[in-house]
Amino acid sequence: MSNKTQLMLKKYKEDNLDNSSKRSLELNDSKSLIFKVLLIGSLGVGKQALLNRLSSNSFNQPLDLGEKKNNITISSSYEIKIVIYQRKLDDVNYLIQFMKPPTIDFLNLHDFIGHKTCRAFYEKSDGIILIFDIWSKDTLTELEKYYYTSKENQNQIIHKPIYMILGNKKDLIQTQPNVLHNKIPDKCITDFVNDLDGTFFEISAKSGENVQEAIDVFLR
């Protein structure tokens, strides 16, 4: 992570995640926008792989999360990892703060979302990216649980985040066509996406297919 990015993150954290959903500042004499995005998904759906792809354009390379100060501790049980991603689009420099909460036991999901610090992160998020495995219906069901449980807290939230849904592991369609019968039916996915009124992409964090396209649409 560059010194400029570290300074940007330091300023962002010192501002205590201001309520404004979009804040502009100057970076290298060009306009920059900061966005905070939560990354949510079950164990094994590819959240870390997606961050690896965005941060280093690789699949297997371990993600360097930087020094301990770049981790925000909610409590002894809940830790959120922060990854900074920069993208220039339409002459605007975007600084995206991806935040990956720990994988939550969905039996304890209500307690997690109700935790005052977690709720503060949720309230001040510009967007939430929901990730599932297109070969595992359970991971889609768990996203539904997350989404509808989080909606219970939205009556206290003024700023509503936007949603994007990503179905990961698209590469298996080409590499393992013999397992196509295991793919989640399109109707199940479509119904879920329509309920959220969000944008949906099938991606492959492994090959990088549709990853950049999805993020660009999310920013616009």
Residue-level pLDDT at 123: 66
Residue-level pLDDT at 155: 54
Which residue positions in the chain have pLDDT lower than 70? 1-32, 56-84, 89, 92, 94, 99-124, 149-159
For the entire predicted model, the pTM comes to 0.69
CA distance 1 to 138: 35
Residue-level pLDDT at 125: 74
Q: What share of the chain is helix, strand, coil (3-state, %, to 5)?
A: 40, 25, 35
Closest by CA to 85, choosing from 48, 34, 124, is 34
The answer to whether 130 and 143 have CB atoms below 8 angstroms apart is: yes
Tokens of 191: 């119904």
pLDDT in tens, 8-48: 444 444 443 444 334 433 444 456 677 788 788 888 888 88
Burial 63-98 (b: 16+ CB within 10 A, else e): beebeeebeeebeeebebbbbbbbeeeeeebbbbbb
> What's the CATH number of domain 3-219, 3.90.1150.10, 3.40.50.2300, 3.40.50.10090, 3.40.50.300?
3.40.50.300
Domain ranges of the chain: 3-219
Residue-level pLDDT at 143: 85
